[in-house]
Amino acid sequence: MDQQTWDAVDDYFSTHLVPPDAALDAALETSDDAGLPAIAVAPNQGKFLHLLARLTGARRILEIGTLGGYSTIWLARALPAQGSLVTLEADPRHADVARKNLDRAGLSGVVDVRQGRALDLLPALRDEAPFDLVFIDADKPSNPEYFAWSLELTRLGGVIVVDNVVRGGAVADGTTRDESVRGIRRMTELMAAEPRVEATALQTVGAKGYDGLAIAVVTG
């Protein structure tokens, strides 16, 4: 198996199960035109997040790492009436692009884009907690702290999803000096030792290469 095969499989499923969408397509195009890195979730991954939010009955969602708002649109569209989403983005240019994409998608009244370092913004969310679903997709060295804050801010029975945890298989290397991988390994160890969650992780292949995600349910 190789990247060409993974691309073809993703394209097959996305063609059949993820219909074209003007707002989502425009979000990717606008992000690309603005020079944002091409690291948004794939369309089928975006729909997975959307369905997960619906399955959990999420009314309040927290996203750590907005980029251009592509995954934000998928998540926000899963919310019921009166639902809301807070998304945190460190880069002011990324936040500006995301706001424009969300406005085009008709979601500016649903999504609150907050610009700044997530670790600076998260403490203020105590007064707005609990959240039903948290999606972490930001700088990987900070994942242990993001997970700890997410656990504090998520309701009992709520779900925490962390993207990009496999890193092409590098996560299995206990001798790595890669700070992104080290952050993921520290987060995984925190999850394993945390009695208040049940967690697992899945490897994935597709248009985004070889990676994966972790998912935890808050149980106590």
Q: Provide the strand spans (E) within the chain.
A: 60-64, 84-89, 111-115, 131-136, 154-163, 197-206, 209-218
pLDDT per residue as tens digits for the range 86-106: 999 999 999 999 999 999 999
pLDDT value, residue 77: 98
Residues 88 and 142 sit within 8 Å (Cβ to Cβ):
no
Q: What percent of the chain has pLDDT over 70?
A: 100
**Which pLDDT score, from 0 to 100, does residue 1 have?**
75
Cβ–Cβ under 8 Å, residues 180 and 141:
yes
Q: Can you tell me the distance from the alpha carbon of 126 to that of 123, in angstroms, rounded to the nearest whole number?
A: 6
* pLDDT tens digit sequence for 60-70: 999 999 999 99
What's the order of all strands across the beta sheet hosting 111-115? 111-115, 84-89, 60-64, 131-136, 154-163, 209-218, 197-206
What average pLDDT does this structure show over 205-216?
97
Q: What's residue 46's pLDDT?
A: 98
Q: Which amino acid is at 157?
A: G
User: Is the pTM for the entire model greater than 0.85?
Assistant: yes
List, for residues 165-181, the tens digit of each pLDDT value: 999 999 999 999 999 99
pLDDT of residue 133: 98
**Range of 52's domain?**
3-218
Q: What is the pLDDT of residues 104-146, one digit of tens each?
A: 999 999 999 999 999 999 999 999 999 999 999 999 999 999 9
How many domains is the chain partitioned into structurally? 1
Whether omega before 130 lies within 30 degrees of 0, making that bond cis, reads: yes
Two tokens, residue 53: 């939010």
pLDDT above 90 covers a percentage of the chain that reads 100
**Contact assessment for residue 152 and residue 129, using Cβ atoms and an 8 Å cutoff:** yes
pLDDT tens digits, one per residue of 43-54: 999 999 999 999
Phi, psi of 96 (to 5 degrees): -65, -45
User: Are the C-beta atoms of 216 and 191 separated by less than 8 Å?
Assistant: yes
Single out the residue of 89, 131, 92 nearest to residue 113, CA to CA.
Answer: 89
Q: By three-state DSSP, how is residue 204 classified?
A: strand
| CATH number of the domain where residue 66 is located | 3.40.50.150
